[in-house]
Amino acid sequence: ETGVTQTPRHLVMGMTNKKSLKCEQHLGHNAMYWYKQSAKKPLELMFVYSLEERVENNSVPSRFSPECPNSSHLFLHLHTLQPEDSALYLCASSQEGRFSGANVLTFGAGSRLTVL
């Protein structure tokens, strides 16, 4: 496996379900991100983890709960979601630092979430 891998690629869930999205990066990066991609909207940053500590939380509803057990893995736990949460959820990673090529985001293919 190379790059950033996300599972599942597609997920359909009811509003009362609990599910999780998984992300794994094989690049040795030290920062990981969750983005939400909705049609005709800018990519929306949800969470940032740097060196496994959460450093950014853009006021995301509590029904989304991130977890970063180590620098290679990132989870997004989902519960009691709303239909408007249906979107493509992208995981990304980067290597933070002050050198050429630093902080360039590498994205996974995304998890397409549909909330019924």
Partner 1 sequence: QQQVKQSPQSLIVQKGGISIINCAYENTAFDYFPWYQQFPGKGPALLIAIRPDVSEKKEGRFTISFNKSAKQFSLHIMDSQPGDSATYFCAASRGTYKYIFGTGTRLKVLA
* Binding residues for partner 1 (CB under 8 A): 4, 31, 33, 40-43, 45, 48, 50, 56, 90, 92, 94, 96, 103-110
Question: Does an H or E element contain 17, and which?
Answer: none
Q: Which is nearer to partner 1, 13 or 45 (CB)?
A: 45
Q: Which two tokens mark 40?
A: 């005709």
Q: Which is nearer to partner 1, 37 or 80 (CB)?
A: 37
CB proximity list for 100: less than 8 A, separation 6 or greater: none
Q: Which is nearer to partner 1, 16 or 101 (CB)?
A: 101
For residue 18, the minimal CB distance to partner 1 (Å) is 25
Dihedral over Cα of 55, 61, 67, 72: its sign: negative
